[in-house]
């Protein structure tokens, strides 16, 4: 099944495009890496799927639905710095927030919700950190907590914005192991990264962007030296 299909799409904020000419199709169980320099539009593209950026033109479908209806099937993992580290909340409470999309905000959690949150935290290797304050965790641990929050919602497509920025080797391997298991089980995966080596190793498909889409397809073709030079040229 096609999880995401963008045809001639432009995305941006307040009517102003950041990225244009996006043509993508991501199937269930596949891993897509968005690659490009800082400010290329990678984060904006990911955010457009979950309604945090605007689709300004073209045709966008999420599981065959409009993004507004399809985003409920998606999990979003922002960069760890997007959540205020000074906010007085534990790792377990952050993960439990992932269940509110299912039960509704300000509604009491059920035993099944708390169990799903515990299982998600265990899946990223941080079950023993549930009671620790989020702000005292390392950057890599915070990123794993945010991944667990998305997993608690049981998404069919997972979107990760630069998930390996500032992440230690232990956390990177823990995240990669979870991502491999997810796609093996049929979850679609889109992640942004500026790490070309990682994109080549992790992704089935790559999309190179810098203000517009430059190329999409197998990483061996999209991330060739010639294509990268053209896309990254000032």
Q: What is the pTM of this model?
A: 0.92
Q: How many CB atoms lie within 10 A of CB 38?
A: 8
Q: Name the 3-class secondary structure at 39.
A: coil
- The token duo for 208 is 């190179």
Contact, 155 vs 101, CB < 8 A? no
pLDDT of residue 15: 96
Q: How many CB atoms lie within 10 A of CB 186?
A: 13
Q: Rounded distance, CA 35 to CA 232, Å? A: 11
Q: Rounded distance, CA 222 to CA 1, Å? A: 23
DSSP state of 86: T
> Beta strands 213-217 and 205-209: pairing type?
antiparallel
pLDDT of residue 104: 66
Q: What backbone phi and psi angles, to 5 degrees, belong to 161?
A: -100, 105
pLDDT of residue 49: 96
pLDDT of residue 87: 84
- Largest alpha-carbon pair distance within the chain? 55
pLDDT of residue 120: 97
Q: Name the 3-class secondary structure at 223.
A: coil
Q: Rounded distance, CA 189 to CA 27, Å? A: 9
> Mean pLDDT per 10-residue run, the chain (234 residues)?
97 97 98 96 96 96 92 90 82 93 73 94 96 94 96 96 92 95 98 93 96 96 94 83
pLDDT of residue 85: 79
Domains of the chain, CATH where assigned: 2-232 (3.40.50.300)
- Three-state SS annotation for 153-184: CCCCEEEEECCCCCCCHHHHHHHHHHHHHHHH
Q: How many CB atoms lie within 10 A of CB 125?
A: 18
């Amino acid at each position: 099944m096609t999880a995401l299909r963008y045809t001639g799409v432009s995305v941006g904020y307040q009517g102003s495009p950041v990225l244009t000419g996006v043509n993508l199709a991501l199937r269930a169980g596949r891993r897509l890496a968005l690659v490009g320099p800082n400010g290329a539009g990678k984060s904006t593209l990911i955010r457009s799927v979950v309604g945090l950026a605007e689709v300004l033109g073209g045709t966008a479908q999420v599981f065959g639905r409009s993004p507004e209806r399809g985003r409920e099937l998606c999990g979003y993992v922002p960069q760890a710095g997007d959540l205020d580290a000074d906010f007085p909340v534990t790792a377990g409470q952050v993960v439990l927030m992932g269940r509110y999309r299912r039960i509704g905000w300000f509604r009491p959690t059920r035993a099944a919700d708390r169990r799903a949150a515990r299982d998600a935290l265990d899946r990223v290797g941080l079950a023993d950190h549930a009671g620790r304050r989020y702000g005292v965790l390392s950057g890599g641990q915070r990123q794993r907590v945010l991944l667990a929050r998305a997993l608690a919602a049981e998404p069919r497509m997972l979107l990760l914005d630069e998930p390996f920025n500032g992440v230690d080797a232990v956390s990177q391997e823990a995240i990669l192991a979870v991502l491999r298991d997810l796609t093996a089980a049929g979850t679609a995966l889109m992640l942004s990264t500026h790490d070309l080596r990682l994109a080549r190793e992790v992704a089935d498909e790559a999309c190179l962007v810098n203000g517009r889409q430059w190329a999409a397809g197998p990483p061996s073709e999209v991330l060739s030296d010639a294509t990268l030079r053209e896309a990254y040229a000032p």
